[in-house]
Amino acid sequence: MLPAETTTLAPVLAPSESASTTEPPVKNATLPPFIVPPGWTTNPRSPGYKADWADRNSEGQVFARCHGLAPARPIMEHVDSLMVIFQSGDKFYLWERVSDVLAEIISQDLYDITTVIAELGLRELRRKVIPYLFDPTELNDQS
């Protein structure tokens, strides 16, 4: 078993405070410390990871908007890059990239979420599927 890493994510700046145009606007929030489950990371090595969330037209942001969500920020990614847990507003979501399915995680306590994944497995994480509201081709830079 891999050693668990503990992380605290830095606050995200509000749009008016943004020092970079690559950070999507997300409400100010500092996440509480949590233990990253084995097989997951908050510091992915994949070169495309940052690009997936970089701006409003990046894959992750478009995916969130297609489901009617506010700008999103990634929290952690599975080491195989096939799943991402991200936050939009005050809720957490699981994006299963292979099946292109988005599910809202029922628990909104990040420590509880990561503990369930670490101790019981992802299958035990309660969630509900969120349907697409828009096709990505329907979205443009103005959406």
Q: Which pLDDT value is given to residue 98?
A: 92
Q: Classify strands 34-36 and 40-41 as parallel, antiparallel or unpaired.
A: unpaired
Residues 6+ apart with CB under 8 A from 100: none
Residue 31 banded pLDDT, cuts 50, 70, 90: confident
Rounded (5°) CA angle 51-42-61: 35
Q: Is residue 110 part of a domain?
A: yes
83 with 96: CB under 8 angstroms?
Answer: yes
Residue 140 banded pLDDT, cuts 50, 70, 90: low
Q: Taking the model in full, what pTM does it have?
A: 0.76
| Closest to 72 in 3D by CA, of 86, 85, 82, 83 | 86
The chain-wide mean pLDDT, for the chain, equals 80
Residue 11 banded pLDDT, cuts 50, 70, 90: very low
The per-residue pLDDT for range 75-100, each reduced to its tens digit, is 999 988 899 999 999 999 999 999 99
Domain span holding position 77: 47-138
Q: Is residue 35 part of a domain?
A: no
pLDDT at 49 over 60: yes
| Closest to 24 in 3D by CA, of 79, 78, 65 | 65
Q: Which pLDDT value is given to residue 59?
A: 92
Contacts 24+ apart (CB under 8 A), 13-21: 21/55
Number of domains in the chain: 1
Q: Is residue 2 part of a domain?
A: no
Q: Is residue 22 part of a domain?
A: no
Buried b / exposed e over 21-38, threshold 16 CB at 10 Å, is eebbebeeeebeebbbbe
